[in-house]
Chains A and B, each alone.
Chain A
Amino acid sequence: MISVAIKRKSFGEQLVLVDVNFNIDTNERVSIVGPSGVGKSTLLRVIAGLDTDYDGQVSSVKNSAVVFQEPTLLNWRDVMDNLRITTRKDDATLTTILSEVGLGEKAQMFPLQLSLGQQRRVSLARALAMEPELLILDEPFASLDGDMVDEMLSLTKQVVDARDMALLLVTHSQKEAAFLTDRRLTLGGNPATIIQ
């Protein structure tokens, strides 16, 4: 379903990724684990199609959605508009998804009126509304406190279990990777490559 074969990825003279090869099957849940700054987000940007300046080949599904490290919401639009504008789905579908992530009552609120945890739920709801074949999560629980991380992990597992889709999680946390995914890939070294 998804085939990643990156020979080299560099920023100017700085070589960041080298010989990164792996596949993700339909409905498979894979995590890429590694320390901060190793190149995980760079790899994710390549897979998501946000960075095309690399040597190699990546074939992905057309319909993928990303939950970014930050909520990246349109703060000047209410929650419902954020989903409506980006996903172009009907209100009934969006209302159902908002209820699923526990924000049924918050549809008319602006993102800055919500807590960070709630903003991340909106971001997750937005990605789910795309009905993606591949859901990409980029450190989706960063900056959250312990209890909130557990709550978000459970919620994410619940909504992913309820759907047929592949999952690619990029994280520095082994705990998150073990909880959400079936296969773990470790990114390490300098330049980074898959080491395990």
Chain B
Amino acid sequence: MCFYNQKVKQIKTLSRIISIAAFVAIWACLAIVLQDRETLPGPLAVWRLMIAELQSGELLFHIAITLRRVAFAFVIAMSLGVIFGLIMGRNRTVNRWFDSWLLIFLNLPALVTIVLCYLWIGLTETAAIVAVSLNKIPMVTVMIREGARALDPKLFDMAQVFQMSRTERLRHVVIPQLAPQLAASARTGLALIWKIVLVVEFLGRSNGVGFQIHLYFQLFDVGRVLAYAISFMLVMLVVEYLILQPIENHANRWRHR
């Protein structure tokens, strides 16, 4: 059984590698067919640009700036989204009053929020982070609200009989039951937030990956646009595989019989 599982894992990993290799090969073929380095540079050319930007220090500097914004917005959006979601999921009156607000914010285009934040707060770091957070909070709220509605009432009875404090109930009874919703909102949250951060930087910041993409867009330097975009995508993949997935696996270890 163990050997079989290992074999399945190997096949899955191999399929992923072949799939990515196929994607790069198609990209290389297209670049060769087009014969236009200005419009579509090949993977090797983009790789060289990435190395050059890395060696100059520019790439790391702008990635660090963007990552910091992603981290701030992520923490704010997750914290407030969890609080709002829990309150709305557990209190019908609050949910009735604020459900329509949630719908409005859910359907507000990201671009509108970003522009309004820049207009009202100014072209500042605060405006950028607030704009990104505002875009994500409603999604986290909805996910956590659904989880909070499905919490097991029998466990609350147990907690009451054993006189668990509010903090203990939150930590040991509520949050673990919300783990699937927390993991899903963290995943989708991170994927959405970094994309919105790039737009925010594109529109109103003077540093970060989004700003660099804006700069090279104006210079029509497709190679460097791709170099920055791919570099940041790689960073987010590392965050996914080295931070989010191990945390999720650890949190879900009790499910494995």
Contacts and interface: CB of A to CB of B under 8 A. Distances in A.
Interface string B154-173: 11011111101000100011
Contacts of A112: 254-255, 257
Given A68-B157, A77-B172, A86 B162 contact: yes
A110 B250 CA distance: 13
Residue of A48, A65, A74, A130 with most partner-chain B CB within 10 A: A74
A74 B173 contact: yes
Given A77-B172, A86-B162, A86-B164, A72 B254 contact: no
Contact of B176 (A45, A66, A76, A126): A76
Contacts of B255: 112
Interface in B160-203: 160-162, 164, 168, 172-173, 176, 179
A87 interface: yes
B183 to A, nearest CB: 13
Contact of B161 (A50, A75, A113): A50
Residue of A77, A78, A86, A113 with most partner-chain B CB within 10 A: A86
B157 A50 contact: yes
Interface of B: 154-155, 157-162, 164, 168, 172-173, 176, 179, 251, 253-255, 257
Given A72-B158, A78-B254, A86-B164, 8 more contacts: A64-B161, A68-B157, A72-B157, A77-B172, A85-B164, A85-B172, A86-B162, A110-B254
Interface in A25-63: 45, 48-50
A68 B154 contact: yes
Contacts of B172: 74, 77, 85
25 contacts: A48-B161, A49-B160, A49-B161, A50-B157, A64-B161, A65-B161, A65-B162, A68-B157, A68-B158, A70-B154, A72-B155, A72-B158, A74-B173, A74-B176, A76-B179, A76-B251, A77-B254, A85-B164, A85-B172, A86-B162, A112-B254, A112-B255, A112-B257, A126-B162, A130-B162
Interface string A130-174: 100000000000000000000000000000000000000000000
A51 B62 CA distance: 58
Interface of A: 45, 48-50, 64-66, 68, 70, 72, 74-78, 85-87, 110-113, 126, 130
Contacts of A68: 154, 157-158
Contacts of B253: 110
B152 to A, nearest CB: 8
A113 B164 CA distance: 25
Contacts of B160: 49-50
B254 A66 contact: no
Nearest to B152: A72
Contacts of B176: 74, 76-77
Given A74-B176, A112-B254, A112-B257, A87 B154 contact: no
Contacts of A77: 172, 176, 254
Contacts of A45: 157
A148 to B, nearest CB: 19
